[in-house]
Amino acid sequence: MSFGQYLVGCVGLFAGLAAVSVIGGVLRSRLVPGWTGPVAWLVAGLLAVGAAIGPALILGSFGLLTGWSWLLLTALLAVAAWRWRERIPAAGARPELVSVPASAGLTIVGTGIAAGAFGSFVAGIAIRLGTGMTGFDSTWYHGPFAAGIAQGGDTFTLHQLAPQFLSWFYPQNSEVIHALGMMSFGNDLLSIFLNLGWFLACLLAAWCIGRPYGAAPISLAGVALILGSIAMSDQAGEARNDIVGTFFILAALAVLINASAGGRRITLGPALVVTLAAGMAAGTKVNFIPAALALLAGAVVLAEPARRLRTTLSGVGALILGGGYWYLRNLVQSGNPLPWINHVGPLQLPGPDQDVGGRDAGSVWGYLTDTDVIRHWFFPGFGDGFGSGWILLGLLALAGLVLCFGRDSGPARRTGAAVGLALVLAWLVAPTSASGPTGEPNGFVSGLRYLAPALAVCLALLGSAVGQRGGRARWLTMGLLLLLAPFTIALGDGWDVKDWLVAFGAGAVFWLASLAVFGIWRVGSRQHRFAARSTHRIIAWSAAAVLLFLLLCGQGVQRYYFDHRYASPDFTIPALADAFVWARHNTTELRIGTNATRQYPLWGKDLDNHVQFIGIKRPHGGFVEAETCPEFIAAANSGGYDYLVLTMDREGQKLKQPRELSWIADDPAVRPVQVAEGGGVVRLDGPLSLSTCAG
């Protein structure tokens, strides 16, 4: 990417951010008028994310989504929102928020713990800058979904991938954001950094949860420990979306708790924000649906009794607005909003008639009575995912849950506890939370990312619970979190000196910047309105200076990234790695068919290759692998491919070559490009012949 292309991308990016920020700010002023400080920033940011996703889905439903069409539509919406902002109905939110300032000591320690987690996360991103996204899920479906949306401008058609877990029915709010970044620069540069933004957003939401009780730093530190753990370390520099859904849940709880602090009933404006955030979580990942429903129920319970019907109807509407799009798409495409569920009792539901496939399914729930599995797999797995202090970490999370179910916690925090339980239940029953052969759930540690959001919620609530119990309780809790930090935060796993320097440098910058913002805001909040406005200006100009600095540094960063992106992939078998290197060089606007599950690197540096798994479409959105040579030949010919990438995409498989490559090896239309043990790349000079199957 030339410097000119980089600047154009930056201009488009900043223009888009400005447009959605205006929309978010205007909506914030109408839904929660009078709110100021971190909670107001959180609401504005949440609504800005919604303002980015909404126009993309409208355009994408008709195949019209491009970078320019999205920018034009959001700019028009921003101008309209600003021009007619006074005509937008204002909700009756109470302007005064309960805020108990945390002590300077707690703030220093809490932000220090968060700085450690931040540094670890940034180090993970730095590693990915030298490799590209390598996580299995990023290269299997997150990346292809985003690249497919960016390339085709279509969000409603199913992008059918390797037939595992019916992944093409997954909700894709997170992938839409990645696609918008890809449209800005014509590549995936921003995708490496997006989860860092969600990381910071989660910390802001955590701060807001503890804020009404003088314990914001405790909630901040607790959530930071979870985000910095090994279980969540694979979110850094990747397109995984667990951290995205976690933010939406934490943001919804933060608004609910702040709106109702002091025993107040919430009004319609905050209720709409809460349910919209809940819907956005459900539109990010299926396992957040139970938590979203719990948040809806909590918003209704906290509403004034006379207005509960209106709140219920409005909340359901906001929930659907935030995430219902993807389930409506599934309903239209397959006849079932949740195609993984094909029957309820005796009732048979429409949907694809095929096995879910993928890894050996297994849930934690199914092993709860198996003491051998618990002792030999689960207990060590918790240590692998959350560090050697996982028992203390679990006890603190449990304490947050129990305390917030107490009588003196109030319905908002009881709702938070219910959300935590819903997330735990979703983890327990998830079909991959303990995947692997029977009695050997080797996927347990990977499945802990489904539990991590529950722990984040519980530890955020812990701060609010101990905050009202006095200084001793606060310091005891913070001391325990500080004790856990070096054992929980993923520091040093495979790092070299450069990674350590990046982690320490990023952590130090975060710590100093956080304390500076805290100090400036605290001083400004004690002064009159003019001083408060000056505080906002200082923060705004500081943010602008940081953005300018990042803009100047970005050119060198992107050059380094594209010099190393998939240059020497070592995260898969050699044959597929060689195919990734081939796709990195001299490929543009090619049609590539593949049998590989991990296909994202085949899209090329500029993401302009069309890549598709070679399979057979079935009714109700079904898609299966070709099991015979004639089926494969027919599927490959129907794709009109220029090249085929046919490899074994997992280690430990017994065949030396994929059967698909053996089927077509002698076809006269096939021209080998690079073939080795385990598979290779071939060029097609014409249609494949069925006669090769007879041989």
Neighbour tally for 274: CB within 10 Å: 30
- What distance in Å separates the CA atoms of residue 199 and residue 119, rounded to the nearest whole number? 11
Helices 216-227/191-210 angle, 10° precision:
150
**Interstrand relation of 622-625 and 591-594 (parallel, antiparallel or unpaired):** unpaired
Helix, strand, or coil (residue 242): helix
Please give the average per-residue pLDDT across 79-90, as a whole number: 90
The string of pLDDT tens digits covering residues 440-491 is 998 999 999 999 999 999 999 999 999 888 889 999 999 999 999 999 999 8
What pLDDT sits at residue 660? Answer: 92
- Note the helical H segments in 430-528: 444-447, 452-467, 471-488, 497-525
**Whether pLDDT at 528 is above 70:** no
The string of pLDDT tens digits covering residues 647-681 is 987 665 667 889 999 999 889 999 999 998 899 99
pLDDT-based confidence at 238, cuts 50/70/90? very high
pLDDT-based confidence at 694, cuts 50/70/90? low
What pLDDT sits at residue 65? Answer: 97
DSSP string, 520-551: HHHHHHTS-HHHHHHHHHHHHHHHHHHHHHHH
The string of pLDDT tens digits covering residues 216-226 is 999 999 999 99
**Whether pLDDT at 530 is above 50:** no
**Whether pLDDT at 533 is above 70:** no
User: Which stretches does DSSP call E strand in 543-632?
Assistant: 591-594, 610-613, 615-618, 622-625
Please give the average per-residue pLDDT across 521-540, as a whole number: 59
Report DSSP state, residue 645.
E
End-to-end CA gap in the chain: 47
The string of pLDDT tens digits covering residues 264-310 is 889 999 999 999 999 999 999 999 999 999 999 999 999 989 899 99
What pLDDT sits at residue 523? Answer: 66
Q: What is the dihedral of CA 536, 542, 543, 547, to 10 degrees?
A: 160
- What distance in Å separates the CA atoms of residue 692 and residue 170, rounded to the nearest whole number? 37
- Among 65-74, 246-255, 523-532, where is mean pLDDT lowest? 523-532
User: pTM score, two decimals?
Assistant: 0.95
**Whether pLDDT at 559 is above 70:** yes
Report DSSP state, residue 688.
P
Residues 6+ apart with CB under 8 A from 413: 257, 404, 461, 464, 465
Please give the average per-residue pLDDT across 257-264, as a whole number: 88
What pLDDT sits at residue 231? Answer: 95
Please give the average per-residue pLDDT across 399-428, as a whole number: 92
pLDDT higher for 554 or 50?
A: 50
What the block records as the tokens of 19 is 């447009």
What pLDDT sits at residue 347? Answer: 81
**Whether pLDDT at 119 is above 70:** yes
Please give the average per-residue pLDDT across 425-431, as a whole number: 93
**Whether pLDDT at 402 is above 90:** yes
pLDDT higher for 387 or 91?
A: 387
Q: What phi-psi label fits residue 93: left (phi over 0), alpha (psi between -120 and 50 degrees) or beta?
A: beta
- What distance in Å separates the CA atoms of residue 455 and residue 481, rounded to the nearest whole number? 13
- Among 339-348, 386-395, 538-547, 612-621, where is mean pLDDT lowest? 538-547
**Whether pLDDT at 212 is above 50:** yes
